[in-house]
Amino acid sequence: MKRIVTLRNIFFFLVLLIVILAGCETLKISKPIMPVREYEKLIVGRLDAQYVGTQNCLSACHYHDTIRRNFEASTMGVQLTRKSGMPVVNCESCHGPGSLAIEGLTPEKVAEDAKEGKQTACNYDTFIDIKNLPPQAQSLICLKCHTANATFNLHNWNAGAHAISDVSCIDCHNICKTFKKGGPDLTVKPRDTAAMCYKCHQEVIAAFSLPSRHPVPEKRIFCTDCHDAHGTTNDKLLKKPTIKEACTQCHAEKEGPFAFEHADTTEDCKTCHSPHGSVNDKLLLLREPFLCLQCHSGHRTSSTSTAESKSARFTRCTDCHSQIHGTDIPSASGEGRFIQ
Ligand code: HEC
Ligand code: HEC
Ligand code: HEC
Ligand code: HEC
Ligand code: HEC
Ligand code: HEC
Ligand code: HEC
Ligand code: HEC
Ligand code: HEC
């Protein structure tokens, strides 16, 4: 009996082995999504072109001088020597090799064209078509240098909501537009982040226009105080692992621990507050007393005055329960009722 079972097991094992091997075989013959050469072209540019260096690229014409000047003055620019150990960056690092683009472009031809009132242009078609690349390939142009090791804040990029949702580096960092119109500084100023984010998150504009809101429009706090656009290991690209920590980094007095806690409701401030904005005072999700009446029934106070007992049911509960986030001081009955 025992032997039969063993033989049977061996039989099943063999069948399993064959299935697994068959699986490996199909893996071996499966084709890449795109021929490797096409893929290289996507990232590197025309494979028949040569790298010629920024000097050669730009010696014949001065049309891109603003970009070049600001580029050279930027952190990516010339102060990075080979000795610094940093990757040396030039126009071709992102746009691809340029020899075909400047073929036949001599200072003489530029001068001739100028005489006829023509603007000489290099052959843009031979560069990487950055604008029309798939977003992941656009980002790879940056990530070949800005690896997670070199640029620490990009550690969580690949798993982040933005990378997953086809947002690329250049949607937010428009390098050459900055050089052309802005200046050499590529860092993102906190005060500019809201406009950067609103390009795509219009629903958030609405929230920050509500009567009660965090002072983001006033530029007193910023999207990047709470979110990291490059991706985090937390929900909703939050910088902190819990909502409570996200909030108490600024509202430390609400952190506790308190002798009398409001059960565990204050572990998630979103139980009662909206993080961006609300039609109700103090960013509350609902007006009082309705906010409280979701979980509590109202009560009469010990007072004999009807007006007051009514008020306990129908007015702001926090007029009396003013320490709603927790307190160390017991109420008259010795319990934690958040009165003071
Ligand atoms: C770090 C990467 C990077 C470097 C370095 C770089 N560029 Fe760009 N450049 C881009 C990206 C991204 C775009 C936007 C994509 C597009 O519009 O095709 C762009 C766009 C441009 C444009 C079109 C601008 C416009 O207004 O539409 C020009 C011209 C240009 N770059 C020239 C240069 C020159 C000249 C240099 C060197 C001095 C240079 N770039 C270096 C990434 C780079
Ligand atoms: C050839 C390598 C290389 C490529 C490609 C590259 N970078 Fe950079 N980048 C650098 C180096 C080196 C610096 C300067 C050192 C630093 O600040 O990390 C830099 C600096 C920056 C800065 C400014 C950082 C600061 O604190 O001043 C930004 C922003 C930036 N790069 C974004 C990009 C984006 C977006 C792309 C893709 C379009 C890109 N880079 C492509 C090498 C590169
Ligand atoms: C959704 C918008 C967004 C995307 C996409 C994005 N970034 Fe950023 N990046 C920012 C913001 C905002 C900052 C400012 C720093 C912060 O997070 O507070 C920043 C900062 C940086 C910095 C440091 C310079 C500084 O301003 O301090 C570098 C370098 C950088 N990003 C590179 C990249 C690269 C490379 C990619 C693509 C892999 C990328 N970023 C994608 C928004 C973005
Ligand atoms: C180019 C468009 C674009 C820009 C610019 C952009 N985002 Fe996003 N963002 C998206 C997309 C697409 C998603 C994923 C779909 C969604 O949740 O709406 C997303 C998702 C998010 C999420 C939700 C993540 C989740 O887990 O649900 C947050 C938070 C966020 N973005 C914050 C920001 C901030 C902060 C900025 C500015 C620094 C910004 N975004 C700029 C396109 C953009
Ligand atoms: C005070 C902290 C804080 C600030 C400042 C802030 N957010 Fe948020 N944001 C949050 C929290 C917390 C959530 C998570 C909400 C949830 O889980 O439902 C969130 C969620 C989001 C989402 C996901 C969709 C949604 O509404 O739930 C987007 C997109 C977003 N924020 C974008 C932004 C942008 C853009 C800015 C700046 C204009 C900004 N946030 C400023 C705390 C903040
Ligand atoms: C970067 C700092 C910062 C963070 C993080 C932060 N807040 Fe605030 N909060 C502020 C500032 C500043 C004000 C405005 C205070 C004022 O006007 O005096 C404010 C105001 C408030 C108000 C009162 C609004 C009103 O209408 O008076 C509430 C409620 C609030 N925050 C809740 C939260 C919650 C919930 C979170 C987490 C999602 C949070 N805060 C995260 C800085 C922050
Ligand atoms: C059970 C509901 C509830 C929860 C949960 C809650 N709050 Fe509140 N919070 C309120 C109410 C109600 C008010 C308004 C009190 C008032 O008007 O006097 C308020 C007001 C505030 C204010 C502005 C007034 C002040 O006291 O400074 C801040 C800031 C605040 N809450 C932060 C937080 C933070 C941070 C958390 C999470 C740790 C949190 N709240 C969780 C109900 C709540
Ligand atoms: C999401 C549900 C929820 C909301 C909203 C809420 N509470 Fe509570 N509250 C609780 C829980 C749970 C307890 C703990 C009950 C217990 O220990 O028996 C509690 C305890 C209390 C206590 C102490 C009662 C006791 O028996 O010890 C008071 C007072 C109180 N809440 C007042 C309020 C007020 C005022 C509001 C509105 C600003 C409010 N609560 C909003 C869930 C909530
Ligand atoms: C006029 C002041 C006042 C108002 C308004 C008020 N309370 Fe109270 N509440 C008290 C007092 C006083 C106690 C008893 C304190 C003690 O135990 O010492 C109490 C006790 C409680 C308790 C615990 C005992 C019980 O009866 O269940 C809860 C829960 C509570 N209140 C919720 C609320 C809610 C919800 C509101 C708003 C609808 C509210 N209170 C409005 C004064 C008030």
The CA 118 to ligand 9 mean position distance, Å, reads 82
For residue 39 the two structure tokens come to 């893929």
Nearest Cα neighbor of 176 from 136, 127, 224, 117 is 127
What tens digit of pLDDT does each residue of 114-173 get? 899 888 888 889 999 999 999 999 999 999 889 888 788 899 999 999 999 999 999 999
Q: How far is CA 189 from CA 156, 173, 222, in A?
A: 21, 12, 10
Domain identity same for 58 and 113? yes
Domain identity same for 60 and 121? yes
* Residue 33 maps to a domain: no
Domain identity same for 172 and 215? no
* Residue 8 maps to a domain: no
Ranges of residues in the chain with a pLDDT under 50 are: 1
- The predicted model scores a pTM of 0.91
* Residue 295 maps to a domain: yes
Ligand 3 pocket test, pick from 147, 173, 189 with the greatest ligand atom count within 8 Å of Cβ, gives 173
Alpha helices in the chain (DSSP H): 2-29, 36-44, 53-59, 65-73, 91-95, 107-115, 135-143, 161-164, 169-172, 175-177, 190-198, 202-207, 223-226, 243-248, 290-293, 306-314
Instruction: Count CB atoms within 10 A of the CB of residue 89.
Output: 17
Q: What is the pLDDT of residue 210?
A: 97
Domain identity same for 44 and 182? yes
One-character DSSP codes across 2-39: HHHHHHHHHHHHHHHHHHHHHHHHHHHHPPPSS-HHHH
Q: Which residue type does 216 have?
A: V
What tens digit of pLDDT does each residue of 51-74 get? 988 888 888 777 888 999 999 889
Domain identity same for 279 and 304? no
For residue 16 the two structure tokens come to 């399993």
* Residue 272 maps to a domain: yes
Domain identity same for 183 and 276? no
Q: Which residue type does 190 have?
A: P
- Our count of domains for the chain comes to 3
Ligand 6 pocket test, pick from 222, 283, 287 with the greatest ligand atom count within 8 Å of Cβ, gives 283
Q: What is the pLDDT of residue 63?
A: 80
Last residue of a domain, one of 187, 203, 219: 187
Domain identity same for 180 and 49? yes
226 lines ligand 4 (CB under 6 A): no
* Residue 197 maps to a domain: yes
Residue range of the domain that includes 178: 39-187
For residue 201 the two structure tokens come to 């998150």
The CA 149 to ligand 1 mean position distance, Å, reads 25
The CA 340 to ligand 7 mean position distance, Å, reads 15
Q: What is the pLDDT of residue 37?
A: 79
